[in-house]
Amino acid sequence: MIQSFHSPSTPAEAVGLIRENPKARYLAGGTELNSMASPVQPDAVVSLNGLGLDKLTLSSEGIEIGAMVTLETLLKSAEKGEASELLAQACSNVGNRNIRNMATVGGNIAACKSCSDLIPPLLVLGARVETMTCDGNIVTIDLEDFLAGPRTDLILRIIVPAPAGSFHAGLCRYTRTANDLALVSVCAGLEMEGTRCIGATIALGGVAAKPLRVREIENAVIDRDMADNIDSICSLADQKIMESIIPITDHRGGADYKMTLARNLLREALIHAALKGGVSR
């Protein structure tokens, strides 16, 4: 049970409070933290509400998302453009409006759930995370590296670079009910030169302990002319997904079922991205 609640007014103060009490946790929207049962729930929390981390900036350079920006704000602020539209689609997939009104982008990343709806698109967009370390230094690292680490630093901002004009993404997920967390999700981003794929980033959720990029699949797609035969390129990707992931079994589904879902969703996401890029079938 939460017994002490701290309300710092600067990131440095928040980090200092955690340094003094390493068992305390940052509290953002609380959708994750408040649903923890004792004894897992921390007994001290440090609220991030008063730190001014709720700014969202969309520009031609990209999108800067304060850690405390809610998923509903990100969804409602969407502008025309592949990155903004992709993030809005990801946010719209999350639970329901009540959850999205509270859940924050920083909290979604820090919680790093296997089935996070936001992390795969952010990985595909090459997002970077600005954090304040426990000794008060500000560092910016790739989201992928942040996820690989202990994720104990305070997230300040998420920086999404503007993708190239020829970048197109497909995001597909499967869930039992609209309100439920995704069993599996796949996000595919393709950079096209005409009908040729010159760059690919592919990230999956729900198949491992945390969302992950699968470079083996990316390499199978890069440097191929999608107009040649999109179905045979999807078959190559399908071969790679079977070789490179071992889905986890959890209460949402068994490994075999998740593999079948992942294969189908990968094909769907690739075709979706390629069609947006002007490839015809």
- 28 near ligand FAD, judged by CB under 6 A: yes
In the bound complex, what is the minimum distance in angstroms from residue 36's beta carbon to ligand FAD? 8
Paired with 141 in beta bridges are 129
b/e map 248-263, b = 16+ CB within 10 Å: eeeebbeeeebbebbb
Distance between CA 67 and CA 191 in Å, rounded?
28
User: 3-class SS at 262?
Assistant: helix
Annotate each residue in 124-163 with x if it binds ligand FAD (CB under 6 A) or - if it does not, as one string: ------------------------------xx--------
Q: Decide whether 9 or 235 has the Cβ nearer to ligand FAD.
A: 9
Q: Decide whether 49 or 219 has the Cβ nearer to ligand FAD.
A: 49
Residues 6+ away with beta carbon under 8 Å from 72: 91, 97, 100, 101
The count of residues in the chain is 281
In the bound complex, what is the minimum distance in angstroms from residue 150's beta carbon to ligand FAD? 11
Site for ligand FAD in 169-188 (CB under 6 A): 181
- 224 near ligand FAD, judged by CB under 6 A: no
Is there a contact between 49 and 80 (Cβ–Cβ < 8 Å)?
A: no
Question: Which stretch of DSSP H or E encloses residue 190?
Answer: strand 184-193
- 26 near ligand FAD, judged by CB under 6 A: yes
Binding site for ligand FAD (CB under 6 A): 25-33, 35, 48, 67, 94-95, 99, 102-104, 106-108, 110-111, 113, 116-118, 154-155, 181
